Amino acid sequence: MSNDAQLRIEKLRALMRERNVDIYIVPTADYHGSEYVGEYFKCREYITGFTGSAGTALITGNEAYLWTDGRYFIQAESELEGSNVVLMRAGDDNVPTIAEFLDDNLKEGQTVGFDGRVVSANLGKKYSEIAKKHGAGIDCSLDLISEIWDERPDLPENRVWILKEEFSGESTASKIEKVREKMDKEGCDFFVLTSLYDIMWLLNLRGSDIEHVPVALSFVILSQNEIRLYINNDIIDDEAGEYLNENKVTLREYFSFYEDIRQLKNVMLSIADVSYAVYENVRGGCDDNLKNRPNPTELLKAKKNDIEIQNTIKAHIKDGVAVTKFMYWLKNNIGKIEITESDAADHIDNLRGQQEGFLDLSFDTISAYGANAAMMHYTAKRGQDAKLEPKGFLLVDSGAHYLEGTTDITRTFVLGELSEKQKKLYTAVLKGNLNLASAVFLYGCRGVNLDILARKPLWDMDLDYKCGTGHGVGHILNVHEGPNAFRWRVADPANPGAVLEENMITTDEPGVYLEGEFGIRIENELVCKSGEKNEYGQFMHFDTITYAPIDLDAVLPELMTEEERRLLNDYHSMVYEVISPYLTEDERNWLRENTRSV
Q: At what angle do helices 420-437 and 447-459 cross, to 10 degrees?
A: 160
The reported pLDDT for the residue numbered 561 is 98
Residues 203 and 222: beta-carbon distance below 8 Å: no
pLDDT above 90 (res 221): yes
What is the structure's pLDDT at 490? 82
Question: What's 376's DSSP letter?
Answer: T
pLDDT digits (tens, 9 = 90+) for 56-78: 999 999 999 999 988 888 888 88
Q: What is the CA radius of gyration of the chain?
A: 25
| Among candidate residues 88, 79, 74, the one with its CA nearest the CA of residue 516 | 74
Residues 259-271, mean pLDDT to the nearest whole number: 95
pLDDT above 80 (res 327): yes
Give DSSP secondary structure letters for 167-214.
Answer: HHSS-HHHHHHHHHHHHHHHT-SEEEE--HHHHHHHHTEE--SBTTB-
Q: What is the pLDDT of residue 287?
A: 78
Sequence-ordered alpha helix ranges (H) in 334-483: 341-353, 420-437, 447-459
Q: Is pLDDT of 536 > 70?
A: yes
Backbone angles phi, psi at 145, to 5 degrees: -60, -40
Residue 275: count of CB within 10 angstroms of its CB: 25
In this model, does residue 257 exceed pLDDT 90?
A: yes
Q: Is 29 helix (H, G, I), strand (E, B) or coil?
A: coil
- For residue 470, the surrounding DSSP H or E stretch is strand 470-472
In this prediction, residues 507-520 reach a mean pLDDT of 97
* Cα(597)–Cα(524) distance, integer angstroms: 19
Mean local confidence (pLDDT), 193-206 = 98
- Taking CA atoms, 334 is separated from 54, 206, 219, 231, 414, in Å, by 34, 39, 49, 49, 10
393 beta partners:
414
Separation between Cα atoms, residue 298 and residue 290, nearest integer Å: 19
CB 404 within 8 A of CB 496: no
pLDDT of 461 strictly over 60: yes
**What single string gives the DSSP state of each residue in 218-287?**
-EEEEESS-EEEE--GGG--HHHHHHHHHTTEEEE-GGGHHHHHTT--SEEE-GGGSBHHHHHHHHTT-G
Confidence of residue 298 (pLDDT cuts 50, 70, 90): very high
Output the pLDDT for position 512.
97
Query: What is the four-CA torsion angle of 208, 211, 217, 223, rounded to 10 degrees?
Result: 80
Residue 2 has what pLDDT?
60
Residues 123-155 as b or e (16 or more Cβ within 10 Å = b)? bbebbbebbeebebbbbbebebbeebbeebeeb
- List of residues 6+ apart from 566 with CB closer than 8 A: none
| pLDDT given for residue 358 in this prediction | 98
The number of residues in the chain equals: 598
Best mean pLDDT range from 59-73, 377-391, 425-439 = 425-439
CB 478 within 8 A of CB 197: yes
The confidence score (pLDDT) of residue 78 equals: 86
The answer to whether residues 269 and 221 touch, using CB atoms and an 8 Å cutoff, is: no
Residue 469 near residue 448 (C-beta atoms within 8 A): no
**Phi, psi angles (nearest 5°) of residue 28:** -100, 95
For every residue of 493-562, DSSP letters joined together read TT----B--TT-EEEE--EEEETTTEEEE-BEEEEEEEEEEETTEEEEEEEE-------GGG--GGGS-H
What's the predicted TM-score (pTM) here?
A: 0.94
Question: How far, in Å, CA of 218 to CA of 378, rounded?
Answer: 31
Percentage above 90 pLDDT, the chain = 91
So what's the pLDDT on residue 323? 98
Bridge partners of residue 523, in order along the sequence: 410
Q: Bridge partners of 413? A: 394
CA dihedral 565, 569, 570, 571 (to 10 degrees): 100
pLDDT tens column, 17-52: 999 999 999 999 999 999 999 999 999 999 999 998
